[in-house]
């Protein structure tokens, strides 16, 4: 990683997302990469168990804020597949339905996770982070390709237009 990137997003996209996958509590202020990679490995080995996948060539990482744990680094991480509908949940998996909303989307080189600084763009844009716990919108997403030849992934930040 070569510092924090502060560019405008490549696009704004409206989406409703339904995710099915494996979830684990992690602490981003302590060594969490091994835990995350282990969870992702378990997910990718079980992707065929998830019916109705919308994008068979990719998986989604969803970082969710945990109430009362933001300052100490507590997050839930969901390694998942995007599905059109949840017909049944494979053993040990969870489903999360994220409401229709807008996302600012950046493309990031694999290995540079954490390099994007969406807050710089948000501070000068007409948008703000869409934090809406009652609707299940409590974090950002990363869309990774399963093809190892793909050396980038997308970083999605939920946004809403500023009021007043």
Task: Give the residue, 91 or 140, on which the prediction is more confident.
Answer: 91
1 found inside a domain: no
4 found inside a domain: no
The domain containing residue 38 runs over which residues? Answer: 11-161
Tokens of 137: 């919108």
Predicted confidence (pLDDT) at residue 137 exceeds the cutoff of 60: no
- Report helix, strand and coil shares of the chain as percent, to nearest 5: 15, 45, 35
Interval 60-64 mean pLDDT:
88
The candidate with the shortest Cα–Cα distance to 21, out of 54, 70, 75, 60, is: 60
Backbone torsions φ then ψ of 135, nearest 5 degrees: -95, 0
**Cα 46 from Cα 48, distance rounded (Å):** 5
Quick one: 111 exposed, middle or buried, by C-beta within 10 A (0-12, 13-18, 19+)? Answer: exposed
5 found inside a domain: no
What are the helix and strand counts (H, E) for the chain?
2, 7
Task: Give the residue, 49 or 8, on which the prediction is more confident.
Answer: 49
Tokens of 34: 């091994």
At 80-103, the pLDDT tens digits run 999 999 988 999 999 999 888 899
154 found inside a domain: yes
87 found inside a domain: yes
Residues 6+ apart with CB under 8 A from 120: 4, 6
pLDDT band at 2 (very low <50, low <70, confident <90, very high): very low
When divided into structural domains, the chain yields a total of: 1
Interval 115-136 mean pLDDT:
81
**Contact yes or no for 100/160 (Cβ under 8 A):** no
| pTM given for the model | 0.86
Q: What is the CATH number of the domain that holds 46?
A: 3.20.80.10
Burial 23-33 (b: 16+ CB within 10 A, else e): beebebeeebe
Question: What is the distance of C-alpha 13 from the center of its chain?
Answer: 14
pLDDT band at 39 (very low <50, low <70, confident <90, very high): very high
2 found inside a domain: no
104 found inside a domain: yes
């Amino acid at each position: 990683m070569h510092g924090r990137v502060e560019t405008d997003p490549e696009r704004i996209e409206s989406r409703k997302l339904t995710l099915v996958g494996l979830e684990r509590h992690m602490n981003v202020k302590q060594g969490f990469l091994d835990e995350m990679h282990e969870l992702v490995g378990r997910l990718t080995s079980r992707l065929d168990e998830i019916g109705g996948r919308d994008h068979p060539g990719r998986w989604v990482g969803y970082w969710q804020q945990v109430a009362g744990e933001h300052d100490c680094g507590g997050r839930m991480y969901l390694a998942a597949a995007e599905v059109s509908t949840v017909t049944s949940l494979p053993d040990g998996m969870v489903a999360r339905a994220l409401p229709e909303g807008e996302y600012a989307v950046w493309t990031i080189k694999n290995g540079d996770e954490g390099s994007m600084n969406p807050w710089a763009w948000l501070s000068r844009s007409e948008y703000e982070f869409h934090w809406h716990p009652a609707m299940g919108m409590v974090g950002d997403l990363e869309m990774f390709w399963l093809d190892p030849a793909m050396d980038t992934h997308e970083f999605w930040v939920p946004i809403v237009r500023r009021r007043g």
